[in-house]
Amino acid sequence: MPRMSLTVNGKAVSADVEARTLLVTLLREHLKLTGTHVGCDTSQCGACVVHVDGRAVKSCTMLALQADGARVLTIEGLAPEGGALHPMQEAFRTHHGLQCGYCTPGMIMTAIDLVNREGHELDEHTIRAGLEGNLCRCTGYHNIVKAIAAGASAMKGKRRAASAA
Amino acid sequence: MYNFTFHRPADVEKAAALLQSSEEAKLLAGGQTLIPTLKQRLAAPRNLVDLGAIEGLVGIERKGRNVVIGAMTRHAAVAASAVVIKAIPPLAELASHIGDPAVRNQGTLGGSIANNDPAADYPAACIGLGATIVTSKRKIEADDFFTGLFETALEPDEIITQVSFPLPIRAGYAKFPNPASRYALVGVFVAERGKKEVRVAVTGAGESGVFRVPAMERALVKRFAPKSLEGVKVDAKSLVSDLHAGAEYRAHLIGVMAQRAVEAAAK
């Protein structure tokens, strides 16, 4: 079984994985980082979004071995255990940007990538287009969009989240 | 998915050698089509050859009157490239509407055209611009590259390394996306390449993939304006009919998208 090494949320990890193991499976089942979710099986819903080498990817549509040697950031890596929430997480909290929470880690990881690419002043159109790969069955998206606009603004002046990994 | 042996060669020669020597080997580029395919067990290769570690396959360069893009360049990079936006804006525009943001961070130009999905966007750009596909063995003109439904002129051990897009005088791309998948129900790439040369390339609608519309090209050579396409119809008989759209509707959409592409080009 192939062996791989990578950095996850700032920590060096190694694992023996079958070649067919998906990155999301490595994260959830091998590393017990269950904040990343599997929502659809068809690469559509975005509940599995994490950052690999600073870019948002759908971890259900990537082999773990493709991330060999890479730097991965999951939802768990945004804030220290018991510490203050990342500004984007805080924005989702204050703007009621979640109900059941299943899509939320993917939404937040996607939102942070959006800020990294498009900056801190995001209009509604940009946010909605940026969320085309994330599905939510609960909220109707309005508060998610509001949360992301607020979170983007609040991220101004903070270090790029990906480089914190 | 079924298991396989994963290879991550350091260069193109080793990758080609693996394709030659391995049983049922497939190349892995961005994986945004291949991995879902494997998950559904629609394919079960014994060997996967990952191109992700090969340097020199990623890059965007202006070379004279061409923009040359490495085969492993991600859609997001093409969409955001100042070089592409300046030289061939509709190419960046096209890349920016493939899939969704996360898919664009992984999906690649080479992977897309090697797959030749009949609803993919890049084949329309390649044909519309008269691109040259450069492989580990030779150069293939776009007109000779896309040979049928999910088929290309590539040999089993041949690897795309880059695609060279000649700069048009002006060009535009208009797409009517499937609202769920964002694949092109119809996508039309129009390019004026010379005083007497206009290309109109349609994706999403043809049973065998991308095709040109000579009648529209002739009309636009006479005058490059949306009005020139009024009344120029595409025969619905040769078009795809499926749960997303009937052939007649696709024929109608081709007319509309072609006009919008010309409008975008003429701006």
Q: Which residues of A touch B99 (CB under 8 A)?
A: 133
Q: A87-157 has which fold?
A: DNA polymerase; domain 1 (1.10.150)
- Cβ neighbors of A158 (< 8 A, separation 6 or more) are A87
Residue with structure tokens 């896309």?
B146
Nearest to B79 by CA among B62, B98, B64, B66: B98
Chain B, 46 to 85: residues with Cβ < 8 Å from chain A are 48, 50, 52, 76, 80
pTM value?
0.96
Query: Chain A: which residues have CB within 8 Å of chain B?
Result: 2, 18-20, 22, 41-44, 46, 49, 55-58, 61-63, 65-66, 68, 110, 113-114, 117, 130, 132-134
pLDDT for A164 equals: 42
Compute the distance between CA of residue B193 and CA of residue B220 in angstroms, rounded to an integer: 11
What is the Cα–Cα distance from B267 to B263, expressed in whole angstroms?
6
Diameter of chain B measured on Cα atoms: 56
Q: Which residues contact B240 (CB under 8 A, 6 or more apart)?
A: B118, B204, B205, B206, B207, B247, B250
Provide the pLDDT for residue A165: 40
Structural domains for chain B? 5-50 (3.30.43.10), 60-166 (3.30.465.10), 170-266 (3.30.390.50)
pLDDT band for position A93 (50/70/90)? very high
Give the pLDDT confidence score for residue A160 in this predicted structure.
54
Residue B102 near chain A (CB below 8 Å): yes
Do the two domains A3-77 and A87-157 of this chain adopt the same fold?
Answer: no
Hey, are the CB atoms on A58 and B102 less than 8 Å from each other?
A: yes
Q: How far apart are CA B140 and CA B113, in angstroms?
A: 12
Question: A20, B31: Cβ pair inside 8 Å?
Answer: no
Residues of B in contact with A55 (CB under 8 A): 76, 105
DSSP structural state of residue B39: H
Reference B192, options B210, B219, B227; nearest CA is B219
Residue with tokens 């071995």: A65
Which residues, at least 6 apart from A105, have a Cβ–Cβ distance to it below 8 Å? Answer: A35, A36, A37, A47, A49, A74, A75
CB contact under 8 A, A19 and B4: yes
How is chain A split into domains, by residue range?
A: 3-77, 87-157
Residue A73's beta-bridge partner residues? A51
Q: What is the mean pLDDT of chain A?
A: 95
**B38 touching chain A per CB within 8 A:** yes
The token duo for B8 is 């991550």
Alpha-carbon separation of residue A37 from A34, A57, A129 (angstroms): 7, 13, 22
Q: Which CATH number fits domain A3-77: 3.40.50.300, 3.40.50.880, 3.10.20.30, 1.10.1370.40?
A: 3.10.20.30
CB contact B244 to A (< 8 Å): no
pLDDT at A150: 98
Identify the residue among A57, A73, A116, A131 best suited for mutation to test binding to B, counting B beta carbons within 10 A and taking the highest: A57
Q: List pLDDT tens digits, range A4-25.
A: 999 999 999 999 999 999 999 9
- Once rounded to an integer, what is the mean pLDDT over residues B104-127? 98
Please state the rounded mean pLDDT for residues A133-137: 98
How is residue B153 written in tokens? 């002129």
Is any Cβ of chain A less than 8 angstroms from the Cβ of B7? no
DSSP 3-state of B260: helix
Q: How far apart are CA B164 and CA B183, in angstroms?
A: 24
ipTM of the complex: 0.95
Residue A6 in 3-state DSSP?
A: strand
For residues A49 and A39, what is the distance between their CA atoms, to the nearest angstrom? 11
**CA of A46: which chain B residue's CA is closest?**
B102
The C-alpha atoms of residue B61 and residue B227 are separated, in whole angstroms, by 35
For the segment A144-164, what is each residue's pLDDT rounded down to a tens digit?
Answer: 999 999 999 999 977 555 444
